Amino acid sequence: MYGGFTGKLLRVDLTSGQVKVEDTNMEWAREYIGGQGLATRYFVDEVDPKVDPYDESNELIIAPGPLTGTSAPTASRYMVVTKSPLTGTITRSNSGGYFGARLKHSGFDMIIIKGRSDKPVYLYINNGEANLHDASNIWGKDVFETTDELEKVYGKNMSVACIGPAGENLVRFASIMNDRHRAAGRNGVGAVMGSKKLKAIVAVGGKVPKIAHPEMYSEILKRSLRKIKENPVTSQGLTKFGTEVLVNIINKSGIYTNRNLTESGDDPYAEYVSGETLAETYLLHNQPCFACPIACGRVVKYNERISEGPEYESTWALGPNVGIHDLYFVIAANDNADRLGYDTISAGLTISAAMELYENGKIPDKDVGPTKPKFGNAAALLEMSNTLAYRNGFGNKLAEGSLRLGEMYGDPDVSMSVKGQEIAAYDPRGAWGIGLEYATSNIGGSHMRAYTISNEILGVEPVSDPVKFDGKAELVKYVQDFTEIMDCSGLCQFPSFALNIDDYIDLINAVTGFDYTKEEILMAAERNWNLERLFNLKAGIKPEDDTLPRRLLEVPIPSGPRKGTIIPLKELIKEYYKVRGWDEEGIPTKEKISELNLDFYFD
């Protein structure tokens, strides 16, 4: 048996109520690195690409990586793989905290969930055994209440992943929340869990993964921790100010945006919502995930209530993006998202789309009630951040996401999304790598499938001029493939500010014993990327969906250091397809498919 794996996976059929254990396909594990890649291999083998995301035959796969639960730095991550109700694409959404490690310690490499229960249930896993329990008494409770109730039954020496009212009510961007505040947030994975009537998963266990090469691992671990400690981003910036340390940096770079991306380039009030300001006002202390030496999480206090966050993306989406620069209201809205269980990015951009539609006269007063959704209206933000989770009133329309909301009112261009998923807090007109990443991401608009902001803004090697065409497609492909390696491993992406790809490969080899060469593991990452692409093509996602919102293609940045810039996306896409080894239409060629051993999935 390789290190880092338990060799067992758990299958749960919610329709029949059967729970069974089977052996992990270790040949697939090596071919796809494990974790997210392994989950994707199982998913495409078992799920029809045309399936409705809410159909009981859609699977929900929860998979820690081979390094998850070890002492490797940030070894906390798990992935959720399913078909998204927001985009119709295959998706993966990851989270940290402690649940991923607990799941691995409970004895399983992944959980494959299918079917639909006729009543609410939760899954209890403990040291290689699992069973389903009635969840009627916690159905309808929020994330914190659900976790509290399960802790009363099982104590605190365990971890809970659950959905809140947003997941129960099939909000298309509902999250799976774990450890109260950590979120597998994007693409509506919580709605898929809710459609199956699965309220929660409780993980207990003490089976720490074995290390294939202990002496090698010890040396690599020491080297990695030293690099993280010596790097100012991972040892100071993120630790002291959290991810919100980016606010002033991104604003000064000219790609911070306001008011549903109608304003961009120079925000004079950005510092009011920065990590520095949070540290001076509401911050109590920082909070690490499992095995994390960085501890970027924020524990805050407002109105005598203790909460966590907000992260950089959440601050922007629920703050400047809706015209608000008061951290109090951002924290309150973020707390609503954690308690009710939904993605802050999609929620914020759906609310901002509603505000733009309303101010442009597209939404009548009768649809929204007495609290008018105007930019800067904090009362409207807090109201909508609550009602959308319950689908109450206008919240029922917000729960569909910004693209469908725009279509309801005759203006889909108001949606700042790609393939239906809302983009993040970086204006692609002034950072072409992140723009190309948004457009080509298999899961829709995402900043976490290739965080080229590191290379374009933050000085991480290989450094790239944000608005230089040459080499941009090559950079995006490389960072996408590197990100696949990080995501499959079970490590967070933040150590990559200090660690390079060779450090990640060394850690993976020492733990698993796979002994990848750099070329082998990069090919495995490319295999994962192409397999998702093939699934999406079969699902009806078209290459012409590799684009950006019209506003970002036609209107230059209006102010600031990047004033007047626009992204040459058509030319970048053409070059990207070539670099990927796809044809001019964006279809992987037969030669590329054969090279990656994906012939089994190629028509």
pLDDT band at 347 (very low <50, low <70, confident <90, very high): very high
Q: What is the sign, positive or negative, of the torsion defined by CA atoms of 292, 297, 301, 305?
A: negative
DSSP assignments along 149-180, one per residue: HHHHHH-SSSEEEE--HHHHTT-TTBPEEETT
pLDDT at 603: 63
**Range 519-526 average pLDDT:** 98
Q: Where are the domains of the chain?
A: 8-204, 244-421, 426-497+517-601
Residues 393-436 have pLDDT tens digits of: 999 999 999 999 999 999 999 999 999 999 999 999 999 999 99
Strands 176-178 and 159-162, by their bridges, are: antiparallel
Do residues 31 and 24 touch, judged by C-beta distance below 8 A? no
**Range 328-339 average pLDDT:** 98
pLDDT band at 1 (very low <50, low <70, confident <90, very high): low
Q: What is the dihedral of CA 303, 304, 307, 313, to 10 degrees?
A: 20
Do residues 29 and 516 touch, judged by C-beta distance below 8 A? no
3-state class of 377 per DSSP? coil
Q: What is the CATH number of domain 8-204?
A: 3.60.9.10
**Range 466-494 average pLDDT:** 97
Q: How far apart are the C-alpha atoms of 75 and 568, rounded to whole Å?
A: 38
Cα dist. 411→355, 357, 363, 540, 565 in Å? 13, 8, 11, 23, 25
H-type helices in 514-600, by residue range?
A: 518-539, 550-554, 569-580, 590-595
Q: Is 410 left (phi over 0), alpha (psi -120 to 50) or beta?
A: left
Q: How far apart are the C-alpha atoms of 406 and 360, rounded to whole Å?
A: 12
User: In the numeric block, which tokens belong to residue 239?
Assistant: 């630790």
Looking at residue 363, its amino acid is: I
Kindly state the DSSP code that residue 588 receives in the 8-state scheme.
B
Residues 293-308 have pLDDT tens digits of: 999 999 999 988 999 9
**Range 139-165 average pLDDT:** 97
* Strand-pair partners of 92: 81
pLDDT greater than 80 at residue 355: yes
Q: What is the sign, positive or negative, of the torsion defined by CA atoms of 310, 442, 258, 276?
A: positive
**Range 385-390 average pLDDT:** 98
CA 353 to chain CA centroid, nearest Å = 21
Do residues 318 and 385 touch, judged by C-beta distance below 8 A? yes
Contacts of 504 (CB under 8 A, 6+ apart): 482, 485, 486, 489, 491, 496
**Range 80-85 average pLDDT:** 98
Q: How far apart are the C-alpha atoms of 288 and 278, rounded to whole Å?
A: 17
Cα dist. 199→76, 191, 204, 390, 595 in Å? 22, 11, 17, 16, 42
User: In the numeric block, which tokens belong to residue 132?
Assistant: 């389903």
**Range 558-583 average pLDDT:** 97
Q: How far apart are the C-alpha atoms of 217 and 221, rounded to whole Å?
A: 6
Residue 435's nearest CA partner among 487, 408, 475 is: 475
User: In the numeric block, which tokens belong to residue 389?
Assistant: 């989770």
pLDDT band at 205 (very low <50, low <70, confident <90, very high): confident
- Percentage of residues in the chain having pLDDT higher than 70: 100
Burial of 216 (0-12, 13-18, 19+ CB in 10 A): middle
pLDDT at 383: 97
Q: What is the sign, positive or negative, of the torsion defined by CA atoms of 448, 451, 453, 454?
A: positive
Do residues 239 and 301 touch, judged by C-beta distance below 8 A? no
Q: How far apart are the C-alpha atoms of 161 and 189, rounded to whole Å?
A: 12
H-type helices in 231-311, by residue range?
A: 232, 238-241, 246-253, 275-281
pLDDT at 209: 87
User: In the numeric block, which tokens belong to residue 114?
Assistant: 């299918």
pLDDT at 602: 76
Q: At what angle do helices 472-489 and 501-512 cross, to 10 degrees?
A: 30
pLDDT at 369: 85
**Range 347-364 average pLDDT:** 98
pLDDT at 2: 87
pLDDT at 206: 87
**Range 241-270 average pLDDT:** 95
| Topology classification of domain 426-497+517-601 | 1.10.599
Domain 244-421 maps to which CATH number in 1.10.569.10, 3.20.20.140, 3.40.50.1220, 1.10.10.10? 1.10.569.10
